Amino acid sequence: MKLSRIKEILKADVLWGEELLDIEVSNACGADLISDILADTKTNAVLLTGLTHRQIIQTASMSDFAAIVFVRGKVPASDVIELAKQQKLPLFSTKYPLYETCGILYREGLRGELEKLACSPETLPKEQETLQVMKLNYEIYGNDFNNAGKATEQAKKILKQIGVDSAAVRKVSIAAYEAEMNIVIHAEKGNLIFNITPKYIEVIADDTGPGIADIEKAMQEGYSTAPARIRELGFGAGMGLPNMKKFSDIFEISSVIGKGTKVRMIINL
């Protein structure tokens, strides 16, 4: 289904991307929680959400969504629209609530893939044949929501430039973004490190902060210590660590109360 058709049936306003209405999408994701959006494995999809802050653009970019439809008549601030322009991400606004928006699109034929696509291992692209180890290191600061997600975005661009398989790039991006947001939300500061090799990508998130008292409980889906103001942004649903583990082939975590937390993730290529 073309974006032009989605605009028509949802009676939506185009906030940006009028020249991109010929883009075809085959699926959709409706959610108002960042972790639910990141956990969605659909491809070639449009995102339906009521979240309008800057992080929703970063989140949609990490997950390779083709466009965003803001429901309930919501319109993001001008700086959010400007960020979408930089990402070449079309934006729409519809007056329909989220549930009705999903139903309308499903009724009109946007039903997605019924069969789950399986990703089989592929030969490393030629661009990686001469690649040995590349290290990227980004400093992340607590409560810095204006820059939240930028480190992962920069790393994602580099991975694409050197020819890493798109499925692996998506896994790395989601795992790293969740780790980056955990530092912003919970820690004082930290580092997000990417070690890129021909066979795997290692992502390390090492922070200085309060630490985790009960790692086993923290790994449970739905468990969260995020304050109300964080939940209002769509974060803090207790899916950060579970999503990191879900998109990693190897997942390790250690934490010391009063000192900080270290997460190590391996994504095989």
Tell me which amino acid residue 78 is: S
pLDDT beyond 70 at 122:
no
Look at residue 236 in the predicted model and tell me its pLDDT: 65
Alpha carbon distance, N-terminus to C-terminus of the chain:
32
Look at residue 40 in the predicted model and tell me its pLDDT: 80
Look at residue 119 in the predicted model and tell me its pLDDT: 39
The residue with greater pLDDT, 101 or 117, is 101
pLDDT beyond 50 at 205:
yes
| Coil/strand/helix, residue 150 | helix
Between the alpha carbon of residue 168 and those of residues 63, 163, 171, 237, the distances in Å are: 12, 11, 5, 25
129-158: pLDDT as tens digits: 444 678 999 999 999 988 888 999 999 989
Give the residue among 173, 172, 181 at the shortest CA–CA distance from 235: 181
Give yes or no for a contact between 42 and 60, defined as CB atoms under 8 angstroms apart.
Answer: no
CA dist 185 and 208 (Å) reads: 12
Give yes or no for a contact between 76 and 52, defined as CB atoms under 8 angstroms apart.
Answer: yes
Domains and CATH numbers, the chain: 3-107 (3.40.1390.20), 126-268 (3.30.565.10)
Q: Which residues pair with 193 in a beta bridge?
A: 137, 204
| Coil/strand/helix, residue 199 | coil
Vertex 115, ends 109 and 117: CA angle to 5°?
Answer: 115
CA dist 73 and 49 (Å) reads: 11
Look at residue 101 in the predicted model and tell me its pLDDT: 96
Residues 6+ apart with CB under 8 A from 46: 3, 6, 25, 27, 28, 29, 65, 66, 67, 68, 69, 105, 110
For 174, the token pair is 């989601």
Please give the average per-residue pLDDT across 118-139, as a whole number. Answer: 57
56-94: pLDDT as tens digits: 998 898 888 999 999 999 999 999 999 999 999 999 999
